[in-house]
């Protein structure tokens, strides 16, 4: 986990709704599907479903086609989020055409995405927790292989990051109208 100072929160690209947001972690069974599920529910609750779409992917191919980790789904279910329809997939260069906002859970995955990023990508590629300005960490801890409490910690961080991301998106969408 990094304790580096955070850059100012905000999206640095022009928005033309609908805006696609892609969350990316390593295997796409813990952190990124959690972010996708929480974000998707909040987008609907906030009445932004016609303006925002979302997905998640992994930079590793070990879990392609599999549902989120059982502890991920259990932690999400306890808070009212349903991740059961999600399936792991691999991030591809085509995602940079479909998603102007691509958010990595940690620096290692951000580096993988930067190597995959096509020239001319004008969207926002960064760390998800940059949208949680009150958090002292910038990298989402990976709960895979750990205790159940780690999955609850991921949910805490995701809920905070989603709130900040939605605030930035609302501002961009409002200014685009």
Query: Does residue 7 form part of some domain?
Result: no
Structural domain span for residue 48: 19-176
Query: Does residue 55 form part of some domain?
Result: yes
Q: Which residue out of 4, 14, 25, 70 is catalytically annotated?
A: 25
Give the lowest-confidence range in 58-62, 112-116, 147-151, 160-164. 147-151
Give the lowest-confidence range in 10-19, 138-147, 150-159. 10-19
Query: Does residue 4 form part of some domain?
Result: no
* CATH assignment at residue 116: 3.40.50.2300
For residue 143, what are the CA distances in angstroms to 37, 48, 70, 150?
17, 30, 12, 5
pLDDT digits (tens, 9 = 90+) for 83-113: 999 999 999 999 999 999 999 999 999 999 9
Query: Does residue 13 form part of some domain?
Result: no
Residue range 70-74: average pLDDT? Answer: 96
Query: Does residue 35 form part of some domain?
Result: yes
Query: Does residue 155 form part of some domain?
Result: yes
Q: Is the pLDDT of residue 8 over 50?
A: no
| CA–CA distance, 117 with 2 (Å, rounded to integer) | 23
Residue range 19-32: average pLDDT? Answer: 96
**Is 104 or 17 the better-scoring residue by pLDDT?**
104
Q: Which residue out of 31, 40, 89, 138 is catalytically annotated?
A: 31
Q: Shortest CA distance to 75 belongs to which of 63, 83, 86, 67?
A: 83
Query: Does residue 84 form part of some domain?
Result: yes
Q: What 3-state class would DSSP assign to 130?
A: helix
pLDDT digits (tens, 9 = 90+) for 103-151: 999 999 999 999 999 999 999 999 999 999 999 999 999 998 877 788 9
Query: Does residue 3 form part of some domain?
Result: no
* Total tally of structural domains belonging to the chain: 1
Residues in contact with 133: Cβ distance below 8 Å, sequence separation at least 6, in sequence order: 6, 9, 164
Q: Which residue out of 55, 71, 95, 142 is catalytically annotated?
A: 142
**To which H or E segment does residue 47 belong?**
none
Confirm whether 98 is a catalytic residue.
no
- DSSP 8-state code for residue 21: E
| CA–CA distance, 140 with 127 (Å, rounded to integer) | 9
Residues in contact with 146: Cβ distance below 8 Å, sequence separation at least 6, in sequence order: none
Confirm whether 25 is a catalytic residue.
yes
């Amino acid at each position: 986990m990094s304790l580096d100072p955070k850059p100012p929160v905000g999206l640095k690209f022009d928005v033309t709704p609908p805006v696609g947001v892609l969350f990316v972690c390593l295997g796409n069974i813990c952190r990124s599907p959690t972010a996708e599920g929480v974000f998707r529910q909040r987008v609907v609750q906030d009445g932004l479903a016609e303006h925002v779409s979302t997905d998640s992917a992994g930079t590793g191919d070990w879990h392609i086609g599999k549902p989120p980790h059982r502890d991920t789904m259990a932690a999400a279910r306890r808070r009212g989020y349903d991740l059961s329809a999600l399936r792991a997939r691999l991030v591809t260069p085509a995602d940079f055409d479909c998603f102007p906002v691509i958010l990595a859970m940690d620096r290692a995955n951000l580096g993988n995405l930067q190597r995959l990023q096509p020239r001319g990508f004008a969207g926002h590629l960064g760390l998800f927790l940059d949208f949680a300005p009150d958090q002292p960490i910038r990298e989402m801890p990976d709960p895979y292989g750990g205790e159940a409490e780690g999955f609850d910690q991921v949910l805490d961080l995701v809920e905070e990051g989603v709130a900040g991301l939605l605030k930035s998106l609302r501002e961009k969408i409002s200014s685009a109208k």
